[in-house]
Each structure stands twice: as structure tokens, then as C-alpha cells.
Amino acid sequence: MGLEKTKTLPNGTSGKYWKITALNCDKVNLKVTFHISLFINKAHSDAKGSSLDITKVFHFTCTSLELSGDLTALGYAKIKAKANSIVNIPTFTFPITYTQRVYDQDLANSIDV
């Protein structure tokens, strides 16, 4: 289980498989943190290959019902939703205007694999 979307790093290396590599769940406070890392591909990840030194961290508040289920599946669903959410970025001009973009361009529109 993972997400697929290609990212090319500044050194020219490309990866296309994003996998949750760590999670921390605080069921008392209903908080969960997911670390998602980029790998060359799924086969490389499945073979216990190392990630491409890019890891993103996402923090969420959840319901107790959400935290009682499959946390990995929850993580991918929440990460995809957050990555695709629209945020307003101030232009720092006068008058202040805003441009819209997705929260995380590296993971927006990724597909489940």
C-alpha cells in the first residue's frame, strides 16, 4: 500500500512511490502523526531499499472511531486529502492579494497503489 506520483530531486534522481514509514498515534488526545517517504519505486521499497532522503510529516486530529481502524489506510486517505486541499498564499504586495495552490504539490493527485 502506498501512493504513486513522480518527483525529481535537485540531483536528478527520480522516485515515484511514497510510503508511510512511521506513525505515532496518541489515542488519548486523538492525534496521529504520519511520516511518508519517497522511494524509487514500489519494488525498491518492498525489497527494504532506502528512501530517497525526502520525508514529509503530517499531523492530524482524528475521531476515536478513525483511530480504532486501519491506521495505515487512514494515513494515506488523510495525506491525500490534505495534499489536495487548496491553500491561500499571500503575495506580500499592497494591497495584499492571495494566490491559491494545492497544499502539497509533490503528493497532490497521487494515486493509490
What are the tens digits of pLDDT across the range 5-60?
A: 999 999 999 999 999 999 999 999 999 999 999 999 999 999 999 999 899 999 99
Which pLDDT value is given to residue 95? Answer: 86
Which pLDDT value is given to residue 92? Answer: 83
Cβ contacts of 50 within 8 Å, gap of 6 or more: none
Residue 33 phi, psi dihedral angles, 5° rounding = -120, 130
Q: pTM (2 decimals)?
A: 0.90
What are the tens digits of pLDDT across the range 90-111?
A: 888 888 888 899 999 999 999 9
Instruction: Answer for the pair 53, 40: CB distance below 8 angstroms, yes or no.
Output: no
What count of Cα atoms within 13 Å lies in the side-chain half-sphere of residue 48? 0
Q: How far apart are CA 57 and CA 83, in angstroms?
A: 12
Which pLDDT value is given to residue 11? Answer: 94
Which pLDDT value is given to residue 49? Answer: 93
Which pLDDT value is given to residue 91? Answer: 84
Question: Which triple of cell numbers denotes residue 48?
Answer: 527494504
Cα 58 from chain centre = 7
Q: Containing H/E element for 64?
A: helix 64-67
Which pLDDT value is given to residue 63? Answer: 96
Q: How far apart are CA 79 and CA 113, in angstroms?
A: 14
What are the tens digits of pLDDT across the range 58-95?
A: 999 999 999 999 999 999 999 999 999 999 988 888 88
Question: Which triple of cell numbers denotes residue 37?
Answer: 517517504
- CA-based diameter of the chain, in Å? 53
